[in-house]
Amino acid sequence: MALTVRHHAGEYQVAWGQWADVASSLPEKAILITDSNVERLLPENLQALPRLTFPAGEASKIWVMAGQLHEQLAQLGALRSHTLVAVGGGVTGDLAGFVAASYMRGIPLVQVPTSLLAMVDSSVGGKVGVDLAAGKNLAGAFWPPQSVIVPFDALTTLPERELRAGMAEVIKAAWIASPELIETLRTPVLNAQDPRLPEIIQSSIAIKAQVVEADEFERLGIRATLNFGHTIGHALEAVTNYAEYVHGEAVSIGMVAEAQLSARLGLITPNAVDDLRTMCHAHGLPTALPAGLSLEDLLPFMRKDKKAEGTHLALALLHGYGACKLHTDVAADDVRKALQP
């Protein structure tokens, strides 16, 4: 079973499988890129393939690490006929994808997401990149993979915190596009053994694929709805030096904050905000900005967000249960008042 994702140059398949089956699905002349945590968990048949490994964590998603990986590929003698295989979470997919997009002006990429967050979000859609000191994902490219292989059983090795963080992206997908998935998530997913999880992952990927196909290069404002919770979430990650929150936790806080803004602007009811906050909390996610943090701390990073235009802020805001639109004219004062306790 597989899902087809179409893009400007063709299409690729998102296939579901198991860890043990990944190696047999890869093209010839594959080179793995993975992090130091996932490397220890690789099945034996993947360990036999050539690979590059970098230190796990968001701190590695930078220019310097991308440059080191380029140099290592050159030392391996990698050519355009080779395929890079990103095996790991969102950081690995973004970093390895950025390297694939730029090494020899672009070589084929296969995504093998092993975290829930990467499965439902970052592995699909072709956005790759690295962080700059000024903000997250400010250097990057659109580079669709040749294929995405989702090994469901990799989730059994995922730390509980990372599973919860991945659920933030599932909750996001539901609230921007699927009232039906919202209803499913009212019963929280708390472990990798939940029998509903494969179907929930597939539903989330289908939402991501549909949005990406409608606006691949983020020119229409449609794809920007996938950033619900991310404008404030990314700023929160940056202002805390990527040390206090993992990505999904920051997105959860960002979703609730941006829902509060949506309610202040009359786009949704306060009850909807409470509903979203309750859902995130039930999935073990944080929902409040840390004490002492103000909009003034976040603003420098929010103004550098890729969606921003002119002097106003740009945020994807809720318009109901399963509905979201990009607003490019949000006044900082409205955000400030929405974030007040």
pLDDT in tens, 82-106: 999 999 999 999 999 999 999 999 9
**The domain over range 2-157 is classified in CATH as 3.30.565.10:** no
Task: For residue range 235-283, list pLDDT tens digits in order.
Answer: 999 999 999 999 999 999 999 999 999 999 999 999 999 999 999 999 9
Q: What percent of the chain has pLDDT over 90?
A: 91
Stretch 120-135: mean pLDDT:
93
The CATH number of the domain covering residues in 165-183+196-339:
1.20.1090.10
pTM of the model: 0.93
* Per-residue confidence (pLDDT) for residue 309, from 0 to 100: 67
pLDDT at 151 over 90: yes
Any long-range contacts for 76-79 (C-beta under 8 Å, 24+ apart)? 76/31, 76/50, 76/52, 78/31, 78/103, 78/104, 78/107, 79/104, 79/107
pLDDT(308) > 90: no
Q: Is the pLDDT of residue 310 over 70?
A: no
Q: Does pLDDT of 195 surpass 70? A: yes
User: Percent of the chain at pLDDT above 70?
Assistant: 99
d(CA 39, CA 53): 7
Please give the Cα distance from 116 to 169 (Å, whole number): 9
Which residues are tagged catalytic? 105, 127, 169, 208, 218, 223, 227, 230, 234, 247
CB distance 289 to 255 below 8 Å: no
Chain-centroid distance of CA 240 in Å reads 19
- Which H helix or E strand runs over 16? strand 10-17
Per-residue pLDDT, 188: 97
Per-domain boundaries in the chain: 2-157, 165-183+196-339
